[in-house]
Amino acid sequence: MTRPSPARVGQRLDDIDTPALLLDLDAFEHNLDALDRTLAGRTIRVRPHAKSHKCPDIARIQVARGAVGVCCQKVSEAEVLVEGGIEDVLISNEVVSPAKIDRVVALARRARIGVLADHPEAVDLLAAAAAKAQVRLDVLVEVDVGAGRCGTPPGEPAAALAARIAAHPSLRFAGIHAYQGAAQHLRAPDERRNAIAQAVDKVHATLSALRARGLDADVVTGAGTGTYPIEAASGVYTELQPGSYIFMDADYGRNLDAAGESVHAFRQSLFLLATVMSRPTESRAVVDVGLKAHSVDSGMPLVADLTGAHYTKASDEHGVIEIDPGTPLPLGSKIRLIPGHCDPTVNLHDWLVCLRGDRVEAVWPISGRGAFS
């Protein structure tokens, strides 16, 4: 059952029920423009990562602004996006279970679908299912470029897997996936540059091995919000996958530039609206945003717009705010919180309440909420 929206178009901020996930549309649009500005003059495609927003309304905006398509992590996310009108979706993950592969090839009848592989058996499973369904499926080789997660080793092992893909008539070797996820939250700029330089070296080794086999990678895709300018400048990547840039969060705000300032050209657009539900002491308030409303894997949220108030701990339904002397925070008042990690926080909500100033302009369903299969 779809839960009712916490807000209606035209309402003021103070009238929104809580907890609610807010999108500041002015900041959101600034972020879309900022990405375009940082990539101006470069012949590089953008494929934003929809795992951040899980929202077809946002994906359609990104495509309308020139994105080649979107990517996502799960088959169920891809299903939501295709149903929402997105015609080019890369599942930037391995898919190996027969039931999920059948869902992938079914989607390939409706849209251009890509998927990753890092093992020969996975390639053969994808090929058999695509042949049975009489579709041709795009498959990219995932290369481990330093994150130590999924991916085949760079160079000849990756090229051998690409050749296996190319040998199947039901598959198309579409390129290589080279995402250095571990680099996204390295705080110092030199650390990020060094990590991506090593990733680029691994991409070069893989491209060389592909050429030796007579193969070309039409697509070299990867990059995230924390490093995409570096991949864009490398001359190797043809496609970028930033996701969190539209929202931002407290953790990304800790990435610094050489001067020790926040590195990002992006503004915080995603907030949690909370109500002060208890004032048990002069130095403590309790709000109605707890663990079931936001993710704390990257730390507690920050209190926006109010100095002297600090979100210090969370339980299932409660958040404890420590208050400095003289800080006004009366019972029933509402505050905005900056999530520690935007992606899993979004996944906890059914609706994105979109504000222009203090008025609700739109309410978008987070249709991919809970889509983890």
pLDDT band at 28 (very low <50, low <70, confident <90, very high): very high
3 versus 243: the higher-pLDDT residue is 243
Separation of alpha carbons 256 and 247, rounded Å: 18
Q: Average of pLDDT values for 211-239?
A: 97
Q: Is the pLDDT of residue 261 over 70?
A: no
Q: What is the mean pLDDT of residues 245-259?
A: 90
For the segment 303-314, the average pLDDT, to the nearest whole number, is 96
Of residues 288, 298, 290, 244, the one with CA closest to residue 266: 244
Q: Rounded mean pLDDT of 112-135?
A: 98
So what's the pLDDT on residue 256?
87
Amino acid sitting at position 17: D
Average pLDDT on 131-144 reads 98
pLDDT band, residue 260 (cuts 50/70/90): confident
pLDDT tens for each residue of 65-123: 999 999 999 999 999 999 999 999 999 999 999 999 999 999 999 999 999 999 999 99
pLDDT higher than threshold 70 for residue 1: no
Provide the pLDDT confidence category of residue 265 given band limits of 50, 70 and 90.
Answer: confident
The whole-number pLDDT of residue 257 equals: 78
Query: In whole angstroms, what is the distance from residue 166 CA to residue 143 CA?
Result: 16
State which amino acid sits at residue 49: H
pLDDT band (50, 70, 90) for residue 24 = very high
- Confirm if 122 and 156 have CB atoms less than 8 A apart: no
Residue 319's pLDDT band (cuts 50, 70, 90): very high
Contact 192, 143 (CB under 8 A): no
What is the share, in percent, of the chain residues with pLDDT greater than 70?
A: 98
Give the list of residues 6+ apart from residue 59 with CB closer than 8 angstroms, or none.
48, 50, 53, 70, 81, 84, 86
- Six token digits for residue 55: 């929202």
Q: Is the pTM of this model over 0.95?
A: yes
Q: Is the peptide bond before 19 cis (omega within 30 degrees of 0)?
A: yes
State the average pLDDT over residues 227-235: 97
Average pLDDT over residues 117-140: 98
The beta-carbon contacts of 213-219 under 8 Å, at least 24 apart in sequence, are 213/159, 213/160, 213/162, 213/163, 215/159, 215/162, 215/163, 215/166, 215/173, 217/162, 217/173, 217/175, 217/176, 218/174, 218/175, 219/140, 219/174, 219/175, 219/176
Bridge partners of residue 177, in order along the sequence: 142, 221
pLDDT cut 90: percent of the chain above it: 96
The angle formed by the CA atoms of residues 145, 200 and 163, to the nearest 5 degrees, is 65
Give residue for tokens 């649009």. 29
SS3 356: strand
Residue 263 CA to residue 183 CA, distance in Å, equals 14
- Per-residue pLDDT, averaged over 194-219, amounts to 98
Using alpha carbons, select from 67, 68, 89, 87 the residue that is nearest to residue 78. Answer: 89
